[in-house]
Structures are given as structure tokens and as C-alpha cells.
Structure 1
Amino acid sequence: MLDVCVIGGNRYFGKRLIARLLKSGNRVTVINRGSSASPAGVTSLVADRDDEESLRAALGSRTFDVVIDQVCYTPRQADIARRVFAGRVRRHVMTSTVEVYEYEHSTAPVREGAVDPRTVKVDLAAPWDDPDFRQQHYGEGKRQAEAVLAQDPGCPYVSVRVAHVLGGADDFTGRVDHYAARIRAGEPIAVPAENHPATYVYVEEIADFLAWTAGQEFTGPVNANAYGPLTTADICAVIEREVGGKAEFQSVEVGETSPFSFTRSYGMDNSRAAHLGYTFRDSSQWLSTAIAETLRSGKEDR
């Protein structure tokens, strides 16, 4: 049994993670701003993770085996968490993203070593508190957040680089609905002239992986993605079967394109996870289920 602290985690795969941790008999403490209720069975602490004194006061003298930081988006947030949890946690797990590889342009699946956070320059003075700046620099914010943890020799950390997540009736992103609406209406779907595939992960499986990671001892970056890269057409083919209609793709040279279309490869290599003992499934094993789950909420609303 572990003492686990989860920062954030009240929605999407975070709430699934908490359910798995509890089911396995772990003691779980959840820290958030109190805007939504924490699940039953956890110790709930209310704090603003951007306010170091607020975070320290909420934690008091508590110690943990592992902290899983679900909502660390900037190096400033990572720096606060690093200081506050120093000496009170054995391992710091940060939920990161495939977007840390935004400057990698290889068409081959990318391995963790392509971005070594120990060598990433950190700029704590950048306007990370500005929501627009943070959104525009999402990948850079995550990359620098990883670097803050990696460059502290006293911080045993893991950065879980999560692929694009699919599945769940509670998918709040609207990306699958974007395609479903256009397919139903017979409207064109904008894709880049050279549209690259990407790797994905099922919402239930990323929750499984994070819960599994909590009980392991490894450190450093690890890619979290299914086998089997998917194209926009692969995803739309499943949506077509769910909603009827036919996807019509329109290539654009400039301008906004649809959510699951990419001007560069977003493929990750998950061999480190397999070597450590966790084998992800192939996307073909869950894609239809994931799309059906996401569209179910839309069907109920109509």
C-alpha cells in the first residue's frame, strides 16, 4: 500500500487514475482548488498550486511515497512543487505530453532521448501566468517543467509523456465531435497538404499506466502511447460507422486544420515502457470502443 498525493485529477483520466489507486488499496490525498468535489475515499486538501505558501499550509507535515502531478504546465509550477515536496516524497511523477517533441521532425517514432530535460534551458521569468502565453507555449511549458525536476539531483522524478488521448463519454476536448458534426453535415474536413499520422492512447489505459507507474521505482522520461499510429482517415472511418455519412477531406496549404491532422509526425516509441514491464495495446484493439464512448454523450444530448 502506498501513500499517494495527486495534484489535480478530478476529471477525465485523472479521476480514473484516482479510482484505480483506491481500488488497489492505496491511501490517496488529492490537492485542488476546491472548485469540484474530490472522489469519495480520498483525503481532500484545498490549495492553489501556484501559491507556494498555500500549498505548504494545506500539506502541513504530511509525507508521501509518491506525488502524481496532473496539472503541471509551466516551469514555475514545477519549481514550486519541487520545493514544497522536497523531503516529503520519495518520487515525483509529472504528467507530461507528446508536445515536448514539437521541434522533432523525424518521421520515425521518437524515443525519450530526443528531448533530454537535463539539458533544456529554463526561463522562470517568462510570462507563464498569462493564459494566452501558456496556451501558445504549451509544449515548451511542459518541456521546461520537466527540466526543473530533472535538473534537481535531489528530486527522483518521472515525466510521463502522454500521447493524444481518446475515449470516454467525458472527453471534454470536443475533437471527436468536431469530425462527427462535419461527417453528419457533409461538410469538408480541413487537413494539411502533407498530413502525418500520430500515436494515441486510450483514456482507460493511460489511467492504468499512471497507476502502475506509481508503484514502480524507475525515474526519467517515459513515452505513454499505444502501438499502431493513426491517420485522420483512420479515426474518421470509425466515426463514419458510428454516425453515418462519409468524410470529405479538403487539403489546405495555410490556415487552421482539423484537430487530428498534423503537419509533422507525432509518433512516439514506447519501447522503454515495455522494457520496464508495461506493454501498451495496439490502437486497433480499442479505437472503435473509444470513439463510441465519446460519441455516446452526444447521442444522449440530441
Structure 2
Amino acid sequence: MREICVIGGNRYFGKRLIDRLTAAGDRVTVVNRGSSAPPTGTVHLIADRDDEDSLEKALGSRTFDVVVDQVCYTPRQAEIARRVFAGRTRRYVMTSTVEVYEYEDAAAPVAESAVDPRTVAVDQGLPWGDPEFLDAHYGEGKRQAEAVFAADPFFPHVTVRVAHVLGGDDDFTGRLEHYAERVRTGEAIAVPPVNHPATYIHVEEIADFLFWTVGEDFTGPVNAASHGPLTTRELCDAIAAHLPGGRTLLRAVESGEVSPFSFSRSYGMDNSRATRLGFAFGDAREWLARAVAETLGKAGRPAEADAVTALSM
């Protein structure tokens, strides 16, 4: 029986990961602030991960084979975690994000080497405790958190750079609903003049990937993304096919806010490292319709798509 600690993990793909771990016979300890109960069959520790003393006291003398950190957003949080879990775990897995590549405007899908966390500058003096600042600097927070772990050569860790996640009836982000409302009404969807595709992953696939990662022994950054980038048009067409009379209208805008999954720069990730290590990804185009049906609900889905797709540039 493996001893696994999950920090956070009460929703979306985190709870799916915990389900997989407990089904495999692992003993899972969930650490959170206590605002919501963890999945059944787990040990629950209540602690504020931003408070080092609180985290130390909650853990006591416990040690783990693997720690999976689902909610590390800042270098401050990473610094506390690195100190607290040093000597407590054989391996530390942090869920990072494709957003760490926000400055790497590459035409081809980016590999992990495009962002070496050992070269990323860490600034603990930034207002990481300010929710508005953190929201506006999400990718940078993750970059610097990765850098904190990478700075310690004796702290074995993995940073899973997760593509944009779709699917499930518990997607709390509201991004597909943003598109669905506009497709239903025929309202124009704002996109950049040059709108780049991005890589995605299904919510069940990222849970599978994290479960697989727990059982492996590699370290360092790894990209997690399904095969095949998707465009905004493909996302909207899949939604329109799900909604009777749905109509997609994309409108290019030179400035101002654009829709959630439209990008003026590339967010495509190269998943070949994970593939070489032994994980078999699915194809995004094969699961996209299912993801839309899961998130938006099956009611009202036409037998045959009668959507009209238009493009206004």
C-alpha cells in the first residue's frame, strides 16, 4: 500500500485522481483548509498551506511515498511546501499549467525545455497574497513556483504542465458555457485577428495522467496534453452541433477582451516526453463532442447537427 498525500483535490480532476488512488488500494491523506469534506475513504488533515506552522502541526510525523500538490500557485507556497515536505516524501508532484509558456511565442508546439525552471527568477516580494494580482499573473506564479522546487537538487519533484482541461459535468470554469450562450443566440464571439489553436486534455485523461505519474519515477517538467490542437472554431462547432439551431459567429477584434479559448499567441504543447515515458494520450478531436455533452448536458442535443457556422472577419 502506497502512502499518498494530496494537497487540495476536492474538485474537478483532483477528486477524480483521489478516486483512482483509493480504488488502487492506496492510503490517501487529503490536506485542505476544511471548507469542504474530502472524498470518502481518505484521511483528512485540516491546515492552511500558506501557514508553515499550521501545515507542520497537521502533518505531525507522517511521511509519504508521493505528494500531489493540486493548489500550488505561488513561489511562497512552493517555498513552504519544499521546507515542510523535505524528508517526508520520496517524490513531489506539482500540477502546473500550459500558462508557464505565456512568453514562449513559438509556431511549433513547445517542449518542456522551452521553460527551464532553473533559470526562472523568483521574486518573493511580489504581492502574491493579493487575489487580483495572482489572477492576473497566474502563469508567472506557476513559473516561479516551479523554480522554487527546481532550485533544490535534493528535492525530487515533477511539475505537470497541464493543457486546458475540458469535460465533465462539474467544470466550474464556465468557459464552455460562455461559448454556448453565444452559440444559442448567434451573438458574435470575440477572437484576435490572428487566432492560434491550443492543446487541450479531457478531465478524465488528466486524472489518468496524474495517477500514472504517481507510480513512475521520472522527475522534472512534463507536458500533459491530448494529441491534436483545437481552434476556437472547432470548439464552437462542437457546441453548435450539440445545440438545436446553434449558430457560430466569430468576430475578430483588434483590442479589448476576447473569448476564453482564443489566443493571440500559441499555446500548443509537445507531449512527446510523456509519450516516450510510456503514457498513451488520446486525440482531442475524438473526445471533444463527449466533453461538450458532459459539460452542457445531453438534453436537447439534436440527432443531426443543424448548426449554421459563419465567420465574420
Interval of TM-score (by shorter of Structure 1 and Structure 2)? over 0.9
User: Once the two structures are superposed, what CA deviation does each residue of 1:223-270 show, in whole Å capped at 9, x if it has no partner?
Assistant: 000001000000111100111321011110000001110000100000
Match of residue 211 from structure 2: 211
Query: Quick check: 155-164 or 115-124, which moved more?
Result: 115-124
| Structure-1 residue corresponding to 2:305 | none
RMSD: 1.0
4+ runs deviating over 3 angstroms: none
Q: Which residue of 2 aligns with 1:66?
A: 66
Identity of matched residues, %: 69
Residue deviations 1:165-214 (CA, integer Å, cap 9, x gap): 00001000000000110111111111111000000000000000001100
Distance 1:297 1:146 in 2: 39
* 2:275 counterpart SS class: helix
Secondary structure at the aligned position of 2:90 is classed as: strand
Q: Which amino acid aligns with 2:260?
A: P
TM-score (norm 1): 0.98
Q: Is the 8 A contact 1:169 1:297 kept in 2?
A: no
TM-score by length of 2: 0.94
Q: How many residues align?
A: 299
Q: Which residue of 2 aligns with 1:19?
A: 19
Q: Which residue of 1 aligns with 2:53?
A: 53
Q: Could you tell me how far apart the structure 2 residues matched to 1:166 and 1:238 are?
A: 12
Distance of 1:159 and 1:298 partners within structure 2: 38
Question: Does the CA contact (< 8 Å) of 1:7 and 1:31 recur in 2?
Answer: yes
- 1:265 lines up with 2:279 in the alignment: no
CA contact (8 A) 2:158 2:218 kept: yes
1:142 maps onto 2:115 in alignment: no
Paired with 1:85 and 1:62, the residues of 2 have a C-alpha distance of: 10
| Residue number in structure 1 paired with 2:31 | 31
Query: How big is the shift at 1:126?
Result: 1.1
One-letter code of the match for 1:188? A
Contact 2:185/2:247 (<8 A) preserved: no
Q: CA deviation at 1:2?
A: 1.3
Given that residues 73 and 142 in structure 1 are in contact (C-alpha distance below 8 angstroms), is that contact kept between their aligned partners in structure 2?
Answer: yes
* Residue aligning to 1:274: 275
Paired position in structure 2 for 1:224: 224
2:81 is matched with: 81
Q: What residue in structure 2 maps to residue 43 of structure 1?
A: 43
In structure 2, the partner of 1:288 is 289
Secondary structure of residue in 2 paired with 1:201:
strand
Q: What secondary structure is seen at the aligned counterpart in 2 of 1:286?
A: helix
The equivalent residue for 2:100 is 100
Spell out the pairing of 1:53-202 with structure 2 (5 A cutoff).
Answer: 53-202=53-202
Contact 1:170 1:297 survives alignment (8 Å): no
The Cα of 1:56 is off from its aligned counterpart by: 0.3
Task: Decide whether aligned partners of structure 1 residues 149 and 239 sit closer, same or farther in structure 2, where only a CA change above 3 A counts.
Answer: same
SS at match of 2:213: helix
2:96 & 2:87 partners in 1: Cα distance?
23
The alignment partner of 2:37 has SS state of: coil
- Cα contact 2:192–2:262 (8 A) shared by 1: yes
Q: Describe how 1:245-260 pairs up with structure 2 within 5 A.
A: 245-260=246-261
1:9 corresponds to: 9
Q: Cα distance 1:91–1:120, how it changes in 2: closer, same or farther (>3 A)?
A: same
User: Any idea what the Cα deviations from partners look like across 1:111-145, whole Å, max 9, x if unmatched?
Assistant: 00000001111111111001111111110100000
Aligned to 2:311: none
Structure 2 letter corresponding to 1:263: S
Question: How many angstroms apart in 2 are the aligned matches of 1:13 and 1:110?
Answer: 24
SS in 1 for 2:22: helix
Partner of 1:238: 238
SS of the equivalent of 2:107 reads coil
For 2:298 and 2:48, the matched residues in 1 are separated by 31
Aligned mates of 2:262, 2:137 — CA distance in 1 = 19
Instruction: Measure how far apart 1:154 and its partner are.
Output: 1.5
Q: CA deviation at 1:285?
A: 1.8
In 2, Cα distance between the equivalents of 1:125 and 1:298?
50
Q: Select between 25-34 and 289-298 the one with higher mean Cα deviation.
A: 289-298
